[in-house]
Amino acid sequence: MNILSEIWFLLCEMSPFLLLGFLLAGLMHEFIPNTLYTRYLGKPSFRSVVLAALFGVPLPLCSCGVIPTAMGIRREGASKGATISFLIATPQTGVDSIIATYSLMGLPFAVIRPVVALLTAIFGGTLCNVVENVDVDDNDNLNPNANLNANDGKKSTSTSSSKRLRRAFAYAFGEMMEDIGKWLAIGLVVAGIITAAVPNSWFNIFQDNTLYSILFVLVFSIPMYLCATGSIPIAMALMLKGLTPGAALVLLMAGPACNAASILVVGKVLGKRTMLIYLVSIVVGAIVFGFGIDHLLPREWFNAPISHYAACHEEGVGLFSYLCTAFLLACLVRAFWPWKQHHHHHHHAESACTIYRVEGMNCNHCAENVRKAIAAVEGVEQVDVSLHEGTASVAGSAKEEEIMQAVESIGFKASKTPD
């Protein structure tokens, strides 16, 4: 039962910070218009790369949600460099995960993590622009759908503040829970297993050996799907077992920033060369900063919070943490209540609906981006996208090829279902 108590304790430690992070994320989602981003990211300049990274760092998007969002800003005219910069910076951090990092791993990690994400993203984006300028390749699967999010930034300002606050809450404790909850649970379970069930002797070879530690972490964190928040308990569990702080940072960076799915989509939409630059930037960044942390910064900075965590473990958990954990669990149960009323909106377009299967949607962001992409196609009157069923039902006179192409241009697969 040790594993369960580890998971429970990790959850209690993180829950107050997670709730605060989710709340901030909801407020950002509701009060910052999308057009703000695209206005600044068009030119293949250093400035657009830096801005894309700066926009990306606080945005609370998980690794699957960032892909369609990045492809969306790409279609609205963001340069390749800015798109790659955004793709690297966004999934590594977010307001929510920075706050949660502080909860388990202390201030130094919470500060270094966004800084490293920012620098890696700027490096990747700049590298991309340099390579692109040398020779511009034409296989840009770019759709000139510049009007894609035209109506998005104008979130009607007439809406009352209380209504917008309600929407922000609904997003933070509803949609975000659905998107992150599963990965957070996986992270906590893996961390519990590592802490309670894996003997320390397994990690002897890595103790104080930065190179081995970093390579070990890179091998399993690049293909694996980890979200920025779910990777925190795993990184901490590995540090408790003796992995160096540099290797923990590599897990926090490479885990969320790349996984098999995002690598494939980047290759498909932005081209193979861009995909290589994206991977190289993340790996080089991870190795450089991992070594930097281990050899240039005092070890106590990183080990003190970890030993403090072990000490708190002895003392137990306070009432406030229990209340926060109870609220968090309630939100999670609500988010995953077996397929809650997701079928209610199919009735109005029964008349002449074409149903498409859409593969690759993992979260609400994905579904919303698919909906926008289809809605932008000429002749579409009505779109309903169901995340749980993996379908889009479309009414109107639009051509099937155009609808499928719109979905594919943001990195998903679409096919018409046989009637």
Q: How confident is the model at residue 138 (pLDDT cuts 50, 70, 90)?
A: very low
Question: Which tens digits make up the pLDDT trace of 187-212?
Answer: 888 888 877 777 777 777 666 677 87
Residue 123 lies in a domain: yes
Residue 340 lies in a domain: no
pTM of the model: 0.75
Q: Are residues 295 and 228 in the same domain?
A: yes
Residue ending a domain, among 332, 363, 397, is 332
Residue 171 lies in a domain: yes
| Backbone Cα Rg of the chain | 22
In this prediction, residue 314 carries a pLDDT of: 66
Q: Are residues 128 and 224 in the same domain?
A: yes
Q: Are residues 285 and 380 in the same domain?
A: no
Q: Are residues 119 and 227 in the same domain?
A: yes
Question: Which tens digits make up the pLDDT trace of 312-344?
Answer: 666 767 888 899 899 988 888 887 776 554 444
What integer is the mean pLDDT of 152-178? Answer: 75
Q: Are residues 8 and 154 in the same domain?
A: yes
- Look at residue 143 and tell me whether its pLDDT is greater than 80: no
- Look at residue 288 and tell me whether its pLDDT is greater than 50: yes
Residue 338 lies in a domain: no
Q: Are residues 102 and 9 in the same domain?
A: yes
What CATH number is given to the structural domain containing 371? 3.30.70.100
Q: Are residues 186 and 232 in the same domain?
A: yes
Angle at 56 between CA 55 and CA 58, to 5 degrees: 85
Residue 17 lies in a domain: yes
- Look at residue 47 and tell me whether its pLDDT is greater than 50: yes
Q: Are residues 320 and 368 in the same domain?
A: no
Q: Which stretches of 57-94 are DSSP H helices?
A: 63-75, 80-92
What integer is the mean pLDDT of 12-39? Answer: 78
Q: Are residues 369 and 325 in the same domain?
A: no
**Residue 270 neighbours by CB under 8 Å, 6+ apart:** 74, 80, 83, 84, 140, 278
What integer is the mean pLDDT of 53-65? Answer: 80
Q: How confident is the model at residue 141 (pLDDT cuts 50, 70, 90)?
A: very low
Residue 119 lies in a domain: yes
HSE at residue 381, side-chain half, CA atoms within 13 A, is 10
In this prediction, residue 35 carries a pLDDT of: 64
Q: How confident is the model at residue 34 (pLDDT cuts 50, 70, 90)?
A: low
Q: Are residues 187 and 305 in the same domain?
A: yes
DSSP state at residue 359 = E
**Residue 114 neighbours by CB under 8 Å, 6+ apart:** 57, 58, 92, 93, 98
DSSP state at residue 235 = H
- Look at residue 387 and tell me whether its pLDDT is greater than 70: yes
Q: Identify the three-state secondary structure at position 395.
A: strand
Structure tokens at 223: 């293909």
Residue 277 lies in a domain: yes
Q: Which domain holds residue 170?
A: 2-332
Q: Are residues 298 and 390 in the same domain?
A: no
Question: Which tens digits make up the pLDDT trace of 120-136?
Answer: 999 999 999 888 776 54
- The total number of structural domains that make up the chain: 2
Mean pLDDT of the chain: 80
Q: Are residues 235 and 277 in the same domain?
A: yes
First to last CA, the chain: 51
Q: How confident is the model at residue 112 (pLDDT cuts 50, 70, 90)?
A: very high
